[in-house]
Amino acid sequence: MFSLDIAAQYPRLVCLPVSWKVTVRHGSKVGREKFGTLDEALAEARQRVDEVRREGGLPTISAFRKHTPDQRVEARIEISGPGLIRSPEGGVDVMGDGHAVAYTGAIRKETIEADSPDEAFDRLRDALDRW
């Protein structure tokens, strides 16, 4: 039987049954953090999206064809839930022109339609919460 008193006395013996992971892929850098709740993970993801958007975006490049900033992903912030198989997954792609595209899924991504970043995060929360 689980006891909060015992957990407080022996924190190293307690495994959190639920943890959400936020993975930030920005350029060649990859960072990962774990959070106890979905709300904490979403708050971190939102903060990271804001940081990337403040950096100013990506230029147009030409490699075989022209790639405009709105076609290039500057950073990908992924959120994955508890579990090893079929865990809830989704995230936000920050495009080179600064707009954010929320999605669910990992291999088969489904875009979440939204008119603003706040609406995108609300819909992402709903999608991950009901998984």
pLDDT score at 83: 81
pTM score, two decimals?
0.81
- Mapping DSSP onto H, E and C, the string for 82-129 reads CCCCCCCEEEEEEECCCCEEEEECCCCCEEECCCCHHHHHHHHHHHHH
- Each residue of 102-128: pLDDT tens digit? 999 988 999 999 998 899 999 999 999
Choose among 3, 84, 76, 90: nearest CA to 38: 90
106 lies in a domain?
Answer: yes
11 lies in a domain?
Answer: no
36 lies in a domain?
Answer: yes
At residue 85 the predicted structure's pLDDT band, cuts being 50, 70 and 90, is confident
17 has a pLDDT exceeding 80: no
pLDDT score at 18: 65
10 lies in a domain?
Answer: no
2 lies in a domain?
Answer: no
3 lies in a domain?
Answer: no
Residues in Cβ contact with 41 at an 8 Å cutoff, skipping those fewer than 6 apart: 20, 21, 22, 35, 79
Residues in Cβ contact with 108 at an 8 Å cutoff, skipping those fewer than 6 apart: none
Total domain count, the chain: 1
- Each residue of 22-62: pLDDT tens digit? 999 999 999 999 999 999 999 999 999 999 999 989 999 99
Which residues constitute the domain of residue 109?
19-129
